[in-house]
Each structure stands twice: as C-alpha cells, then as structure tokens.
Structure 1
Amino acid sequence: MFVVPIFCSIWLTSSRIWLIMFVDAMQQGMTGSLTPYVTSSFSRHSLTATTSIMSSIIGGLIKLPLAKVLDIFGRPQGFFVMIWFMVVGLVMMAACQNVQTYAAAQVFYWVGYNGVSYCCGIFIADTSALKNRAFAFAFINSPYIATVWIGGPLATAFLGSAGGFRWGFGAFTIITPFVTLPLFFVFWLNYRKAKKNGMLIKRESKGTFWLSLKYYFIEFDVIGLLLIAGGLALFLLPFSLYSYQSKGWSSALVISMLVVGIVLLIGFALYEKYVAPKTFIPFELLADRTVLGACVLAAVLFVSFYIWDSYFFSFLQVVNGLTITEASYVANIYSIGSCFFSLIVGLLIRWTGRFKWLALSFGVPLTVLGVGLMIHFRQPNVNIGYIVMCQIFIAFSGGTLVICEQMAAMAATTHQYVAVVLAVEAMFSSIGGAIGSTVAAAIWTGVFPKKLGQYLPAESQGNLTSIYGSLTVQMSYPMGSPTRNAINQAYGDAQKTMLIAATVVQVLSFIAVFFWRDIKVKDFKQVKGLVV
C-alpha cells in the first residue's frame, strides 16, 4: 500500500533534479558564449581555454572525496556545501577584475556543479534498475535539448545591457539557490527521518578534535589529493602560459613549474603505492578491464572534445561571421544532438540488454569520422553546412559513448560500488578535459600568433598584439578586408592543427572499448527498493 506514495515521491524528486539540470545547462550555455568576451575584456583572448584547466582538474578530483563526505557526514550536508561552492563561483565571475580571478571562479563553480550533479546521479542510480539506468541518465541530461536555444540569446542580452557579462553571472547567483535548495530540503527531511528510525549507522567518536582531524586527514587521503592536484596543475599550465613569458620555454618559471609538476606526480604514484594508509583512488576497481576501459574512454573523449571545442565559438564568429546567438546554436549542436540521441541509446540498451556493440560499431567510428572531416571543413571560405554536418556526427556518437561508458563502469561492479565507480569515471573525464584544454591552448599560442604575423598586411603589423588578445578587435575588421582575411587564415591553420591532434587521440577509443566485457544488463536482478 506504500507503492504509490513512494513512486510519486521519487518522481517528484527526479523532477526537481531535472529542473536543477535545466538551470545549470542554461547557465553553462551562457557562460560558454560569454567566456571569450570575458578574456577579451582583459586582452587575454588566448587564455580562453586556460580558464578551464584548473576547474577541470580540481572539479574532477573532488568527486572522490565527496563520495566519502556523503558517506561519513550525510548526503544533505555534502549537497549544501556544493551549492555554496556554486554560488561563490558565480559571485566571483560577476566581480572578476582579471583572468586569474575568473579562472579561480571557474574552479569554485565546477567543484560545486560536479558535486551537485554527482549527488543527483547517485540518486538516479539508487532508484533505477540497471537495464533502465541508461535511459534514466539520458533523461536527466535532456534539458540540454531545450537550453541550447537559450544560452546564446541570453549571452547576447546580457552583453548588450549596462551590466554586461557581470550581470549575466550575477543573475544566476540568485537563480541557483532558488532551484537547488528545495532538493536539499528533500534530502534533509529524508536524512532526519532515516536517523529518527535508526536506519543510519552511528559513527563512533574519534576522541579529541586533533584525533578526529588526524582520522579524517588519513581517511580522505589529503596528501595524495594535494600531490595529484598540484602535480597536474603545475605540469599542464605551462603549456598555455609559456607564450606570456619573455623567454618562452626557457623561462625559469615555466621550467620550474614543469619540473615540480613531474616530481609531484611521481611522488603521488610512490606515496599511493608504498606510504598511503588509505588511497583516495580505488585502484582495485581499476583492475577490472571493463571499468578501466570505460574510464580511459571517458578521458579520451574529453581530451579530444576540449581540443577541438576550446576556440570553436570564436572561430564561428570571426571566420564564419556568425552572431553570438547563431554561433551558440552551431556550437551547441553537440549538446542537443548528444542528449537527444542518448535517449534513443537508453531505449536500445533497455531493449537489447547490451551496450558494447553500440559503442564499438557505431559510437567510436562515427566520432572519428566527424572529428576527422572537420580537419578539411573547418577552414575559411567553406560552407558552414559542412561544419554542422560534422557536429551532428559527433553529437550522435557522443550521446552513444557517454551513456555506454557509464553503463560499462556500473555493470562491471556491484551496486555497492556504483557511487565510487561513477566518481572515478568522472575524475578521468575531468582530467581528460584539463589535458584537452592544455593541448588546445598550447597549439593556439604556438600557431595562431605566428601565422598571424605571417599573414597580416604591413599596415596592420603594429596591431598584432591587440588582434591576438581580443575577439572584439578581430571582429572589428570588415569581412573581406586584407586584415580580416589574414586573421581568418591564421584561425584556419590553428584549427587544422587542433583537429589533427583531436582525431589522433580518438584512436585510443577503439582500444578502450575493445577491452570491455560484453555484459548483458538484462541479466542483473533488480535491487530491493527500486521502482523505476
């Protein structure tokens, strides 16, 4: 007799999660359109990709400690802290006075967003049978289908207002708590109810404050977390910052960052293997070839995506002459296409009970085809219809592979480890994104200014620095003028190098998927209490 109330409660909570994802997707679509203008306002357009490196690293790594926070302190507490991080990040974006502050704001925001989405994902995993979970995850991400049409016009409206991009971020500091706090109260009420009924395991006191601090310091593997976060950051950032040093790669700052980064990464590996009492990465799960293959695929997809996507929005505006709204539509074909097609993939997995065949025979080949074709089509004087075609290919294949990789990771483990394995998969995705942004920034700073210097006519050579540093300056030259043609050609050369790198990386996708076990999800028995 309790089936109907429970069913309604779960679907009501799911609808709240959908609303949260809708607002976040809308905000991210707007941010993607605004970021080139934010960096250009400080004459640092070339750092567009760099702003996401630290946020990708830290935002991805935070999910593993968050899994323990949820386990030790409770889901509502962890969820509330993540909301706070999101709001702080948005406030910092609205108030930033330089690129460094904007990049730091991205870290706060993405730590919060990744934490919120992780909590929502665990709820969906806990309340759905494995055979239906692909469709459930696809449904929760379906808001991107609608928000694609909102982000560009929203960015245009805010840029045209008196407050500019700052009020765009400021508005979401109000909207975000409004849509997320209701779900926090749902989690809190259920937590209180479970605690009152004695369903929560009471954790023993660790003694004094210092003993408790020591316990959690070890439990969260703080040293290991700092080593890998610092190592990745110091190793990756020089690839996008070297061009701002007078001596380039010979700069003492660049060399020291690379050396210290490598030392920290080696130190992380040695510490985790020989010293750490508790490792925050569950290496025993990665011993499973399906889990490892899913994580590698996640990393490869994000490396490739961030290489070709980092300066894509700027390319559409400068080379193709699109408005912010038009460029946002084209740039977000991936979002709408992948989210739409993932619903179909979810139904196919529900029907066939398998996912490997979809990834290996359709997802990976179509991704390689789409990215590879853009090497030729993402150039000046090429009809934009061909770019749209490539984006559709990548969108459909991306929607297939993201769902399949999550299903592979979850199907290869017991339900007890679903939360952890999703956190590990997300960590690989985020680190892959950081690597992709680093490669994109390195190629851009290495190719674009050099080619710009070669192609610019003599009368514009004195403006090379301002052209390189600002999207608005680049678009200020009329289409068809010698200077605009030179800028467009430099864009084309940089994009070609990026796309070659993105295509080569995708070859690893075949290897990752090949090693998956062909698991039939229909064979899994439903966990007690599931209703979807």
Structure 2
Amino acid sequence: MNVEKAVEAGHPPVVDVKHPVDSSSSIEGFTPDAQEGVKKMEATTSVWSKKHLIVAYILMWCITFVDAMQQGTSGALQPYVTSSFYQHSLTAYTGIMSGIIGGVLKLPMAKVLDIFGRPQGFALSVGCLILGLIIMASCNGVQVYAAAQIFYWLGYNCMSYTLGIFIADTSSLKNRGFMFAYVNSPYIATVWIAGPLSEAFLYGPGWRWFYGAFTIITLAVASPLYFLFMHNYHKAVKAGIIVPIKSERTFMQSVKYYAIEFDAGGLFLIMGGLVFFLLPFSLYSYQDGKWNSPLVVSFFIIGGLMLIAFALYEKYVAPKTFIPFELLTDRTVLGACILAGTLFVSFYIWNAYFSSFLQVVNGLTLTQATYVTNIYSIGSCFWSILVGLAIIWTGRFKWIALYFGVPVTMLGVGLMIHFRQPDQTIGYVVMCQIFIAFAGGALVITEQIAAMAATDHQYIAVVLAIEGMFSSIGGSIGSSVSAAIWTGVFPDKLAEYLPAENQADLLTIYASLPTQLSFPKGTPARIAIEKAYGDSQKWMCVGATAIMILAIFCVAVWRDIRVKDFKQTKGTVA
C-alpha cells in the first residue's frame, strides 16, 4: 500500500507491511484487512527467534510478579491511606472512577495497539501507571489519591491488557489458556510477600515510600520487554517485511483523523455517563437528604442522559463506533463479556471491606489478613494452570465453566452469607475463599478463551478490550453497590450497638480503621463494631450471590468451540 492509496483508504499511513520477496520464507501471509499494528506484530513474530520468544515470556512473568506484589501490598495499605485522612468509608469510592475510566479506555488502547503497535501501547500504559504511583506517593487527601488511582489503574489495566495481547499474538489458541495461566502464576508467590511488605512499609518508612519505591521498580522491570519487541520490529524493517512511510497529513488533519478513529465523542459520553451515574452510590450518605439531595438526583439525571446520548450518538452520529456492535452480536463474545462483568460485580461487592473485616472481626494482623484476602489470587492462578492443561487435552472449554466454574463460585459466595459473621471462625471463611478461588480461576481463563475463539486474530485486541471494559465497569458497579451498603448499613448499626459512653466517638470510629482496632477484643465497643461489620457484610454477600445467577445464562449461550486445531496467529509462536 503506497502513501496515496493509504490516505485515500482512510488508513493511517504509518507503515506498509508486505510479504518478503524470498519465496522460501516461512511467513504464511498476514491476516487479511488487518490494521497496521496487527501486521507489525505478525511481522515481528515472523523474524524473531525461539530464544527471543522464551525471553519475552520470562520478562512478562517478571512484570506480572512485580505487578502482583504491588497490587497485593497496595490493596492492604489502601484502608490505612484513606484512614490517614479520616475517610475510611471512602475505601471503595477510590476505585469507582478509576475502574470506569480505566475500563472504558481499554477500547481506545486497543486502537493504539492496532494502529501504532503493541510496544507503543505498552510504553504508554507503563507511563500512566508510573504517573499514578508518583501522585499517590505525594497525595495530600483522598481526592488526590482517588485521582492518582485513575492514572494508576488506567496504566495497570492497559499494561496487563497489553501483556494479554502479547500472549494472544505469540501463542496458538489451544495453548493460550495455559500461557495466560503461566504469565499470571506469580500471584501464587506474591501472596506470601504482600503482607510482610505492607507491614514493613506501614510501620517503617510509611506508605508513601511504598509507592515511591515501586515507581522505580516498575520502570526497571518493564523496560526490557519494550526494547525486546522494538529490537525485533527494527529487525523486520531491515528484512524488508515492514516498510516505514511518512504521513502526509497536516497537524489538524491528524487531529481530526484520530478523533474519529478513537471515537472521542462516544468516549466522553460513556465515561461521563458512568461516572455521574455510579458516584452517588458512595457519596449519598454525605449529603443532606441523602438519596433525595439535589446533588445525588442531578448526578443520576446527568449520568442517565449521557448514557442515552451515547447510545444515540453511536447509532446515528459517530463516523466510527466506539464499540464494534457486530462483535457483540456473537452470543459467545457477548456471553463472555457479560460473564466478566458479572464476576467483577460480585467480587467487588463482597471484597471492598474484606481486609478491614478480617482485622476487626477476626482479629487478624495486617499480614494475616493479606494471606486470607490473597487466597483468591493464589488459588485462581494455581487452578488456571490446570484449566489451561485441561483445554489443551480436551480441546474444549465450555464444560469447565458450566459444570464447575459457575456452580462452585455461587456455592462459595453463598456460604459467606452465613460464615462471614462475628460468631463464626476464620476457618469457614478460608474454606469459602478456596471455593471461590478455584472456580474463579476456571472462569477467568474460559471466558477469555471463549471471546478469542469466536473471532479472528485481527479482532483479538478489540475483543479483549471489550471483555476488559465489562470487567472494569463491573468492578466499579460492585464497588458502588458495596459503598452504598456500607454507608447505608454500617453507621446506623454502629449507632444502634455502641454503648452510651462511646456514642460521642461514633464518627471517628466510622471514619478510621486504626480507631476501630484501638478497642481491645471483647470490650463492649469492639463487640458493637464487630456486630455492625457482620450486618454490613451479610447484605454485601447476599447481593454478590444474587448477581451470580446471571453467570449461568452467560455460559449457557456460548458455542462449544473446539480449539484444539484452531489456528489464529502467524510466525514463531508458543
């Protein structure tokens, strides 16, 4: 494709990818009609060696190891960060906007990957993550911390998403579940690190130093993978497989082109609509009149109107749609995406205040609490390896989700309604977490394989972006519901149970986890706090169980695709 034809066709004239003249080449041909970033990646995998493929997977494992350690430690420290500003009740709120924005922006990130290339998108995501860490290290309030979370989660979600695309680009479909499980296996080890690390920073240099230290560590561990992919990209250029060409567009033409290509109008409407619609769930308790307050009502109205405007804009106005609706008409893709959203809604409803519950009600230390909260990480990652092997062996994936993943998840979440109470022992809570972990590992792998198996290689990035968007928005909805239950139940029950001599401290107890922990176990005040936690957690688990009913229908509509002999990728792949 020459420059003139590229401009006329509306393609970004960044590179021209062609077959080498040498007929002895092992390249089988690029995916028809694929965008430039897809062709770049196929060209890269056609020239790199098996050694570089192995090195790439080792580097991805190392990046995931650092991310997992960072995630576990940050999650343990978050209640203490919000409590340091006397805003413990906003623990769930800090993740709502970041989840929405980080999830929705996966679709334009898919465009970055497809138009400019995988390494460029990876570098952009790492930059956002590092910026978020820097802001969190220097924040002076919950509002700034929440804003930093937006950059952090945008970077983290897009980086993990880009790694997923790397795996999809460099592995055959039948092996892909196992390769996803392998790259995510560091969570098995970091479970035992996050607790001691969080305590070391909390009682040592402080939580700000944690974010500062991981700014440097993340940059150091992520850079080699970027340079490896760029090295092989330039190798493909030298081989003549990729011929760089210069764009002839002016600056304003480029702005207009990319505004259309990334659907800037639709992006603004859906992000704004979701943020305005979901924030009142966690903010209503701080307003006079609560649900009837002008701020809450206006947020709901504005959010609803923006979401309606988004649907109308995408249908009648947008030159290029934000969501490729033709993909969502496939029942397997749609079922996988809705399942992803459902799982995250359920998880974030019961998980938002879980660490605080374990410390206050069960009397665990911060390290011990991280061990319990990370059972999901270690269990799901371990089990997903077995699920990946099962898919390689049987060539199918639907049966794993339908007959094991969904029912066992519902069992584990449902049992928590009874066992997550002050009068129950920690052993039963751990049992529930093991059920959820094993089933969750099965569902995460099978939902991603289902979405990818139902489409071609050129749409892998978009399909995984849609699946990731559903996950992130589901997490935001779950956080909103959890925050609504917490702010609606916990303070009222606390006021009901607290002894008269502690009523004056009600607001301080509600606002600070360290204050809650300052009352010794067995004292009337601590018993009252534990009972208030139990009432709040019960309704969270009820909501988390109820939403899982959708998961049954989501998996049932999947096509039973045989992936054993399915070929999607080109070049040297795993």
State the partner residue of 2:304. Answer: 262
CA distance in 2, matches of 1:205, 1:29: 44
How far the C-alpha of 1:5 sits from its partner, in A, is 7.1
How far the C-alpha of 1:201 sits from its partner, in A, is 6.4
Kindly report which structure 2 residues correspond to 1:70-469, keeping only aligned pairs within 5 A, or say none: 70-161=113-204, 163-200=205-242, 202=244, 205=247, 207-469=249-511
How far the C-alpha of 1:192 sits from its partner, in A, is 2.3
State the partner residue of 1:17. Answer: 60
How far the C-alpha of 1:127 sits from its partner, in A, is 1.3
Counterpart amino acid of residue 505 in structure 1? I
Match of 1:53 among 96, 118, 135: 96
Q: Deviations over 1:444-491 (max 9, x none)?
A: 000000100100010000100000000000000010011000000000
8 Å Cα contact 2:457/2:568 also seen in 1: no
Q: Deviations over 1:194-250 (max 9, x none)?
A: 334443365663522111111111110001001000000000001101111123122
8 Å Cα contact 1:206/1:212 also seen in 2: no
State the partner residue of 1:65. Answer: 108
CA distance in 2, matches of 1:530, 1:151: 36
CA distance in 2, matches of 1:196, 1:69: 24
8 Å Cα contact 1:224/1:268 also seen in 2: yes
CA distance in 2, matches of 1:332, 1:408: 26
Q: Identify which range, 352-361 or 181-190, moves more after superposition.
A: 181-190
How far the C-alpha of 1:184 sits from its partner, in A, is 1.3
Counterpart amino acid of residue 428 in structure 2? Y
8 Å Cα contact 1:126/1:530 also seen in 2: no
> Which segments of 5 or more consecutive residues in structure 1 lack a partner in the other structure?
none
* 1:282–1:202 CA distance, 2 compared to 1 (3 A): farther
Kindly report which structure 2 residues correspond to 1:480-499, keeping only aligned pairs within 5 A, or say none: 480-499=522-541
CA distance in 2, matches of 1:456, 1:177: 48
Q: Deviations over 1:478-524 (max 9, x none)?
A: 10011000000000000000000000000000010000011111131
CA distance in 2, matches of 1:35, 1:78: 28
SS in 2 for 1:217: helix
SS in 2 for 1:522: coil
CA distance in 1, matches of 2:381, 2:572: 24
SS in 1 for 2:364: coil
Number of equivalences: 531
Q: TM-score, normalised by structure 1?
A: 0.97
State the partner residue of 2:551. Answer: 509
SS in 2 for 1:24: helix
CA distance in 2, matches of 1:348, 1:33: 34
CA distance in 2, matches of 1:47, 1:409: 34
CA distance in 2, matches of 1:51, 1:306: 13
SS in 2 for 1:523: coil
CA distance in 2, matches of 1:362, 1:160: 42
8 Å Cα contact 2:412/2:435 also seen in 1: yes
SS in 1 for 2:49: helix
* 1:66–1:206 CA distance, 2 compared to 1 (3 A): farther
8 Å Cα contact 2:174/2:391 also seen in 1: yes
CA distance in 2, matches of 1:415, 1:5: 19
8 Å Cα contact 2:333/2:451 also seen in 1: yes
> Which segments of 5 or more consecutive residues in structure 2 lack a partner in the other structure?
1-24, 27-45
Counterpart amino acid of residue 194 in structure 1? A
How far the C-alpha of 1:76 sits from its partner, in A, is 2.4
* 1:206–1:464 CA distance, 2 compared to 1 (3 A): farther
CA distance in 2, matches of 1:354, 1:75: 29
8 Å Cα contact 1:62/1:111 also seen in 2: yes
CA distance in 2, matches of 1:115, 1:206: 30
CA distance in 1, matches of 2:552, 2:340: 12
8 Å Cα contact 2:104/2:271 also seen in 1: yes
* 1:120–1:258 CA distance, 2 compared to 1 (3 A): same
Q: TM-score, normalised by structure 2?
A: 0.90
Counterpart amino acid of residue 360 in structure 2? V
8 Å Cα contact 1:129/1:530 also seen in 2: no
> Which has a greater percent of helix?
1
How far the C-alpha of 1:388 sits from its partner, in A, is 0.3
8 Å Cα contact 2:47/2:571 also seen in 1: no
CA distance in 2, matches of 1:431, 1:141: 22
